[in-house]
Amino acid sequence: MQIANNTAVSIHYTLTNDAGEELDSTVGGEPMVYLHGSGNIISGLEKALHHKNVGDKLNVRVEAADAYGEFSDDMIQVVSREMFDGIDKVEVGMQFHAAVNSGSGIITVIKIDGDEITVDGNHPMAGQSLNFDVEIVGVRLATKEELSHGHIHGAGCHH
């Protein structure tokens, strides 16, 4: 079966940055399973996998715009410590769910200067091109329930 919209796709992948550093991998573990055509994975990788078949292996370079977007200085802002009410100790590197320019997202504390805390709403991989070494290990029709929920259920899913 060929990968098309509304199929459950299982892949093994190794993700590296342009420096060749491994950022993530499913090799040696469970494959990642996603619902094709539902935006469950970055758009550049999804486009590259469309119409591929079980057993296909490919190397895919995804530019930042089709991955986690370009880095935006507008996503960095200084907020008052009062914004972290109820949190005893705020430290650089801590991450929080918050409202960001594009909706709900994760912000990372990148600097603390007294009562001023600088946060970054960019995805940690924003501005980076990503390189995927992919093997397609399974394709099946998604169930009605999976389609209604917008993600895959069962072993190997990440919902």
| pLDDT at residue number 102 | 61
| pLDDT at residue number 99 | 75
| pLDDT at residue number 105 | 82
Which ranges in 25-159 belong to alpha helices (H)?
43-49, 144-149
Are the CB atoms for 67 and 44 separated by under 8 Å? yes
| pLDDT at residue number 98 | 85
| pLDDT at residue number 153 | 81
| Three-class DSSP category at 147 | helix
| Three-class DSSP category at 143 | coil
Encoded tokens for 82: 């009062």
Reference 156, options 144, 140, 148; nearest CA is 140
Residue range 104-148, pLDDT digits in tens: 788 999 999 999 999 999 999 999 999 999 999 999 999 999 999
Reference 67, options 131, 151, 141, 140; nearest CA is 131
Across 17-81, where does the E strand assignment appear?
Answer: 22-25, 32-35, 57-62, 76-80
Q: Any idea which residue has 């650089």 for tokens?
A: 92
Which ranges in the chain belong to alpha helices (H)?
43-49, 144-149
Show the low-confidence residues of the chain (pLDDT under 70).
100-103, 155-159
Q: Any idea which residue has 């200085």 for tokens?
A: 73
Backbone phi and psi for residue 126, each to the nearest 5 degrees, phi listed first: -60, 140
Q: How many CB atoms lie within 10 A of CB 13?
A: 19
- pTM (predicted TM-score): 0.82
**What is the C-alpha radius of gyration for the chain, rounded to an integer number of angstroms?**
19
Domains and CATH numbers, the chain: 7-68+126-149 (3.10.50.40), 73-120 (2.40.10.330)
